[in-house]
Amino acid sequence: MAFERKNILDGLRPHAKRIKATSMRKMFEENPNRFDDFSVSACSILLDYSKNQIDQRAMQALFEIAEICMVEKRRDAMWAGKAINTTENRAVMHMALRYNGKEKLLVNGQEIMPKIRHQLERVKEYSTKIRNAEITSSNGKKFTDIVNIGIGGSDLGPDMVTKALEPYAHSDLKLHYVSNVDGAHIYDCLKRLNPATTLFIIASKTFSTDETITNANTAKSWLIEALGKKAVAKHFAAISTNISACNEFGIDSDNIFGFWDWVGGRYSIWSAIGLPAAIAIGFDNFKDFLAGAAQMDEHFRTSPLQKNMPVILALIGIWNRNALNYKSQAILPYDQHLSRFPAYLQQLDMESNGKSVDLSGYPVNFETGAVIFGEPGTNGQHAFYQLLHQGSDIIPADFLAAINAHENLPEHHDKLLANYLAQSEALMLGKDLKQVISELAMSGKSQTEIKKLAPHKVFTGNRPSNSLLYKKLNPKTLGSLTALYEHKIFVQGVIWDINSFDQWGVELGKQLAKSILPIVRGGEMPDKVNSSTTGLIKYLLNNKE
């Protein structure tokens, strides 16, 4: 019940009130071992959470909340194939997609690992043959460009992985991702491509997602115009459970890859949805990506709460959201290869935990979820860090960085790491008025100038962040990082008593769009449309060219 969770979460407020009286700067001064006390390592990743407004008593209270809310029991129920997605009566088994052990995993009494491994073997065979030009175009030419057509998890996941693992990419294959129903997206992609050497992968579980099928039909028409209708079978593959619709579209059954209703879209990169990424980086690297996630799964399933990295990351998020009332979370990878990671996590987190009713259907009376955003460093420093450092809202941040770069450009990487380290320190320490006045005086400013300028150069500091470090962004590390955040989001959902695995919030807009489409096309205006929508439609129609 929502009121019970609120009472549990309200137990954090006395700790928050106590801690707010002490700055993080002072906490570090009083405890030389603060880093050791508030850091944890797993799967070759270090998480330093010492730069948070937290102490041992508050952390203990958070671990107790995790126990009261039965995080471990819910985690075990997920692994056991229970229907923890209660609104859709589905199991949640994305961990099984990367599992390589001997344990039997069941959903509805049926073993699922043989099916998973069969599809994985098909992905291996197909991706390898595309890379080796054993599968060719209708003209017998080697494919040079792969266009993935999907949206949501069917786009963000493989796109993120492809960009993150660019150092492992096939030199002669270019991957493109089309998601938006805006015609500019598919048009701008196709105008650069040669139909004779282009392969399309349509990623849609039901093969009915409006944006995806609209883009797929446009791609099909483009191909047929150049190569004829028979070419479709050679130039299209699909990731879907709707075999008949794929066949009707013209896709050969051998080129259709399935997945299951116990795989949510935003958790599906580990399935055949990862096919374009496997083509880009090679199946062995894709398998290492799965292995890295499996390592984090094992850590999450077996480590005690106090040493469990996903649990700790989740509890820090609970603390910031529910005890300190911080509404946003910045994801700041100091790793250009992770340029799509913030967008990927934006969907993963906000679609999962953007809920306002609990598992029993009662409205929650506490905060859930957070606004997730981010950009790679150092670009973000010249965009929105002004607000992070001096804005009226405090925004917790996760900083991520690779110790070693793929590129042999040490001057670049050393400067990148220096900025990575400096930004979290600046957020924590700040700069008080006394420091500012002293610096301005030393620079030769007059007393009048100092008085005018000083308030603008003060940094309050005491702004929380987590720092994550890993040796190099290889496939295993990326798998572990991605799984880390998956489990973090799951733990938070358990504590908030919400369903992290449905997404009913995306439905209403889609339904309304279908009813408005005929009007946009010039149909009759219904009587019950509100005046704003009516006015917008009239203006739109009057100005159409």
Residues 162 and 173 grouped into a single domain: yes
Residues 181 and 258 grouped into a single domain: yes
Residues 139 and 150 grouped into a single domain: yes
Residues 418 and 443 grouped into a single domain: no
Residue 94 lies in a domain: no
**Contact partners, residue 333, CB within 8 Å, separation at least 6:** 339, 341, 342, 374, 376, 377, 399, 400, 401
Residues 276 and 161 grouped into a single domain: yes
Residue 149 lies in a domain: yes
Joined tokens for residue 98: 């990367």
3-41 burial, b at 16+ Cβ within 10 Å, e below that, comes to eebeebbeebeebbeebeeebbeebeeeeeebeeebbbe
Sign of the dihedral through C-alpha 429, 472, 201, 99? negative
Provide the pLDDT confidence category of residue 1 given band limits of 50, 70 and 90. low
Determine the Cα–Cα distance for residues 34 and 396; give it in Å rounded to an integer: 19
Residue 80 lies in a domain: no
Residues 279 and 342 grouped into a single domain: no
Joined tokens for residue 487: 């489990």
The whole-chain average pLDDT of the chain stands at 96
Query: Phi, psi (5° rounding) for residue 325?
Result: 60, 40
The lowest-confidence range among 192-206, 420-434, 526-540 is 526-540
pLDDT digits (tens, 9 = 90+) for 257-305: 998 999 999 999 999 999 999 999 999 999 999 999 999 999 999 999 9
Residues 205 and 167 grouped into a single domain: yes
Percent above pLDDT 90 for the chain: 94
CA 298 to each of CA 48, 143, 163, 294: distance values in angstroms, whole numbers, following the listed order: 21, 38, 26, 6
Hey, how many other C-beta atoms are within 10 angstroms of the C-beta on 508? Answer: 9
Residues 276 and 410 grouped into a single domain: no
Mean pLDDT, residues 515-528:
86
**Contact partners, residue 351, CB within 8 Å, separation at least 6:** 152, 266, 503, 505, 506
List the Cα angle 157/159/163 in 5-degree steps.
120
Residues 333 and 238 grouped into a single domain: no
Provide the pLDDT confidence category of residue 213 given band limits of 50, 70 and 90. very high
Residues 151 and 265 grouped into a single domain: yes
Strands in 270-345 per DSSP E: 328-334
Full-model pTM: 0.96
Q: What is the CATH number of the domain that holds 415?
A: 3.40.50.10490
Number of domains in the chain: 4
**Enclosing domain of residue 517:** 505-542
pLDDT digits (tens, 9 = 90+) for 138-184: 999 999 999 999 999 999 999 999 999 999 999 899 999 999 999 99
Residue 85 lies in a domain: no
Residue 91 lies in a domain: no
pLDDT digits (tens, 9 = 90+) for 51-85: 999 999 999 999 999 999 999 999 999 999 999 99
Residue 108 lies in a domain: no
pLDDT digits (tens, 9 = 90+) for 352-372: 999 999 999 999 999 999 999
Determine the Cα–Cα distance for residues 45 and 296; give it in Å rounded to an integer: 10
Residues 150 and 237 grouped into a single domain: yes
Residue 500 lies in a domain: no
Provide the pLDDT confidence category of residue 529 given band limits of 50, 70 and 90. confident
Residues 51 and 153 grouped into a single domain: no
In the 8-state DSSP scheme, what is residue 116?
H
Beta bridge partners of 202: 149, 238
Provide the pLDDT confidence category of residue 525 given band limits of 50, 70 and 90. confident
Hey, how many other C-beta atoms are within 10 angstroms of the C-beta on 140? Answer: 9
pLDDT digits (tens, 9 = 90+) for 80-100: 999 999 999 999 999 999 999
Residue 181 lies in a domain: yes
Which amino acid type is present at position 88? E
Provide the pLDDT confidence category of residue 2 given band limits of 50, 70 and 90. low
Q: What is the CA radius of gyration of the chain?
A: 26
Catalytic residues: 351, 382, 510
pLDDT digits (tens, 9 = 90+) for 458-515: 999 999 999 999 999 999 999 999 999 999 999 999 999 999 999 999 889 988 999 8
Beta bridge partners of 147: 176, 200
- Chain-centroid distance, C-alpha 449: 46
Q: Is the pLDDT of residue 312 over 80?
A: yes
Nearest Cα to Cα of residue 468 among 393, 377, 346:
377
Mean pLDDT, residues 327-332:
98
